[in-house]
Structure formats: C-alpha cells, structure tokens
Structure 1
Amino acid sequence: MGLLTAALYACLIVYLGGWYVDAWHGNFSLLLFLLTLVTFAFWLAERFHFLPARRRAAAQLEAQHAARREELARQGITQVDGDVQAAREKILMQPWWLDWTAGLFPVICIVFLLRSFLFEPFKIPSGSMVPTLLVGDLILVNKFHYGVRLPVLNTKIIENHTPQRGDVVVFRYPKDTRIDYIKRVVGVPGDEVAYLNKRLTINGQPVEMAPLGEYYNEDRRRYAQMYSEKLGNVEHRVLNYKEAPPFIIAADDFPFRENCRYSAEGVTCKVPEGHYFMMGDNRDDSQDSRYWGFVPDENIVGKAFLIWMNLGNLGRIGSFQ
C-alpha cells in the first residue's frame, strides 16, 4: 500500500508540474473530485480495516504480556523487563501512507465542497480586464449566485439569479471548456449589442460614458484613454487606445455567428436565448465575444466579487464592480 500511495503522489506531482509549465490544460475540479474519492476510500479502509487490525494486534500484545507476567509471578519473579506501552503505541501508530491519504480526507473534502458550491479562487492571468482587474490579482468567485451546479458535470440543479449587464463573470471558454475566462456581461439574451467606432450601444441606446483622463497601463507600458461606463446599475471603468482600429480583426467561426454583422466600424450582434455577450474592460486589448462568440449559460462558473490578495500591491484588496 505504501508503494501505491507513493505512485499516486508521483502521478499527482507530474500532473501538476505539467499544468504549471503549460504542457497541458488541467481540470482542477475533476482532480479535486478524484482526490476526494481516493482519500475517502483510504479513510474507509483505515476506519473499518487497518485501525481495527492494529487495535487487535495491540490487545494481543497486552494479553501476551499479562500472561507472561502471570507465569513469571507463579515462579516467584516479580521484576519483568520490557516496556509494553511503548510497543503498544508503535503498533497503533498510523503508517505514513495512511497519514497522507486517510488523514487528509476531511481537509480535501471540505475544500472540494467549499470550492464546488460556495467560493472558488482564481488568479487574473491577462490584462483584458484592466483597469478593473490587474494581472496577478487573486479573486474570489461566488459559485452559487447564478445557481447551484453539480461539480465536474456542471449541471445546474438549483436556480438562482441570472447574469445581469455589468456583472463580472468567470466562465468556461466556449472554444476550450478546460480554460476559464473572466469578462464583463454586456449583453443578455435578446439584446442587440453594437460596438461601433468604440462606442457601446445596447438595444439602440448608447451606454453612458464619461471621460476620466489618461491611464498608464504598466503591463503594456503605454497610455490609454479611460472612461467611466454604466451598464445597468453598475458603474465601472474601461480603456481605449487611440491607435487601435475600431473594426474586429480575424473573428472566429462560432455558433450563431449569423447573429453578428461585422463592418469597418465594428460589430453588431443579437444575443441568442440562453447565451451572453461578454467583453473585457480593456476594450482594445481583449479577446472576447466580439472575436469568439457568445457564452452559453451552462459555461457560467460564477460571479467575481472580491480581490482577496495581490502580492505586489496589498492596496488592491477589496470588492470591485
């Protein structure tokens, strides 16, 4: 069993190492689910087999020691060598491979349940949501705000709120569901979203915008024009770069692409039922629904609401819109 446990941990290290260096994409939900099952199996084996066996062996040792003392006492010998208590504790001691499997089950199970149904941490990998979210921000996502979904299967079992315009949402990338993206909801089912000449219009109504001056993007090392934008009840900031063209370059083929009209001024799309139109706040530096299409409801992971850490700037900690 020790060799089996060592092999399992070796596979885990190789998997996580390859994931870290981008050798392959990982499904952390599936990994955590499998770890929960494996450690649960070891926990059951420990509770109902290994621990009772160790206790029987310890009881047998104590019985043998008592019988030996009794026999020696009949022979008039009262001083008996040997520390049976130390031997008993050694027999009862949990082996390392059970300590690293069955012993970790409660912790892994709690993490799995919290991450699956309540809150999940994410790290911002790109600058598509600048200035709202910066590269390196560690955020929390509310997993139950848009309904409760079964882990791994991602099947919704309990309805709750629906995504609203202005929400910052984490979702599984439609072209590769192993990858998580984060963008802002711009269009909900039935909306006609137009982004023409770098101005956003929803159902024929221009979205409120007000200039806020220049913003220096440290990652790109260049200045952008920053605006205050209001989507629904959510007021947030967006960026535009003067030198960037308004039209969309090399849009992909995607489901319901016939709902979109591309021109030299930009793009206009009718959002189909059960789908959402997502855009990054860094408008000229974001690969989003303008390029790869609509996000189906079943891809929604949760609503982002809190920066809980940024190791390079602790002042970033706090809620955001």
Structure 2
Amino acid sequence: MKNFIKEWVIPLVGVFILALLIQRFVFFHVMVPTGSMIPTINEGDRFLVLREYWPEKLETGDIVVFKVRPNGVETLYVKRLIGTPGDTVSIKDGKVSVNGIELVEDYVKRPDRFTGEYKVPEGKYFFMGDNRADSKDSRYAEVGFIDEADILARAGLRFWPLNNMGLVR
C-alpha cells in the first residue's frame, strides 16, 4: 500500500495541483460564443489564452479577452484592441482612426457605416469586433470603455476546430 501511495497517489496529486496552478496563473480556455470576430475568430472556436498581467503592454490590434457586466451578469468578450488610455478614437462611415492616424484594418470583412468619436479615459481601453456589422463593443453603452482590471488575457492558441489550429492574430 505504501508503494501504491508513493508511486501513484502522490504524483497524481502533484500533477493535479500543478495543473490548477497553471490554469490559475498562466493560461485558460475560452470558447467564443458569437460571430463578432468573424473572419478572424469564428463562433464556437476554442482557444487557450495567456493571462495578461501587464495591460499597459497591450498594443492596438491585439485580440484580448475581457469581462463585461451587462445587466449585472459577468460575460467574457473577445475583441480587438483599438484604443488605449488617452487615445482619441474617431470612426467616420466605418473608417477608424486613432489619434488622427487611420488604421489599416484588412481583417475587417463586414464593415458598417458607424460614425462617432471617443476619448479613452485613463485606466480604460476601447475594443471593437472584426465583424463590425454584428459586434456589440465599446461603441455601445452596454459595453463602453473597459477597465484595466477587467482585462484577463491576450488571445493565444486556437485548438478547435482542428483545421484552423494556430495562433490567433
């Protein structure tokens, strides 16, 4: 019995604890529930994301996982970072500029005709989906600017579906 505990139980408990620590501090699994990031990420795609502990190192164009609380219910969103603290995001007929420089957004396949201007407050971030015509994002009051504390991770490795496996960009 001692050999069984020493050779099987202790290593299995150690692996279990190690797996929990990795999941808690290194990466976690996300399933995308909507088509707001099509064609970059499709509805139902699953990927592993690295936890982001330094949101100030995020750059415009990064795909990020963050939490929002519409109607008090916490929900995970996956969107593209457009504006960082202090930026001015201008949208005119669907064309996006940050601090007066128009973004080259070849990943946007379904643009819309949205127009608006946003000054990103300190400690907040502005996100948009790649499928602009079907994305609830920072342009809308129910999402709005995202607090730095609500940013969970930068997108990582898509593992499902298998034919689309690879890093998410």
Q: Same fold (TM over 0.5)?
A: yes
Aligned to 2:154: 303
- Structure 1 contact 174–295 (Cα < 8 Å) conserved: no
Distance change (3 Å), C-alpha of 1:179 and 1:104? farther
Tell me which of the two structures has the higher relative contact order, counting C-alpha pairs closer than 8 angstroms and 6 or more residues apart: 2
Q: How does 1:118-197 map to 2 (within 5 A)?
A: 118-143=26-51, 146-147=52-53, 159=54, 162-175=57-70, 176=72, 178-197=74-93
Aligned to 1:239: 109
Look up the SS of the partner of 1:208 in the other structure. Answer: coil
**TM-score, normalising length: structure 1:** 0.46
Alignment partner of 1:280 is 2:158? no
Q: How does 1:286-297 map to 2 (within 5 A)?
A: 286-291=135-140, 292-297=143-148
For residues 133-173 of structure 1, what are the alpha-carbon distances to aligned partners after superposition, in whole Å with 9 as ceiling and x for unaligned? 01121111011xx32xxxxxxxxxxx575221011000111
For residues 281-309 of structure 1, what are the alpha-carbon distances to aligned partners after superposition, in whole Å with 9 as ceiling and x for unaligned? 00110000001210000001111021112
Output the CA distance in 1 between the equivalents of 2:22 and 2:103: 37
Bigger proportion of residues as helix: 1
Q: How does 1:36-115 map to 2 (within 5 A)?
A: 105-115=13-23
Bigger proportion of residues as strand: 2
Output the CA distance in 1 between the equivalents of 2:137 and 2:15: 37
**Aligned letter for 2:124?**
H
Q: Which runs of 5+ in 2 are unaligned?
A: none
Shift of 1:121: 1.0
Q: Which runs of 5+ in 1 are unaligned?
A: 1-88, 148-158, 210-227, 229-236, 248-265
Shift of 1:117: 0.9
- Structure 2 contact 125–148 (Cα < 8 Å) conserved: yes
Shift of 1:124: 1.2
Shift of 1:103: 9.8
- Structure 1 contact 239–284 (Cα < 8 Å) conserved: no
**TM-score, normalising length: structure 2:** 0.84
Which protein shows a greater Rg? 1
After the TM superposition, list the runs of 4 or more consecutive aligned residues in structure 1 that deviate by more than 6 angstroms. none
Output the CA distance in 1 between the equivalents of 2:20 and 2:130: 31
- Structure 1 contact 193–200 (Cα < 8 Å) conserved: yes
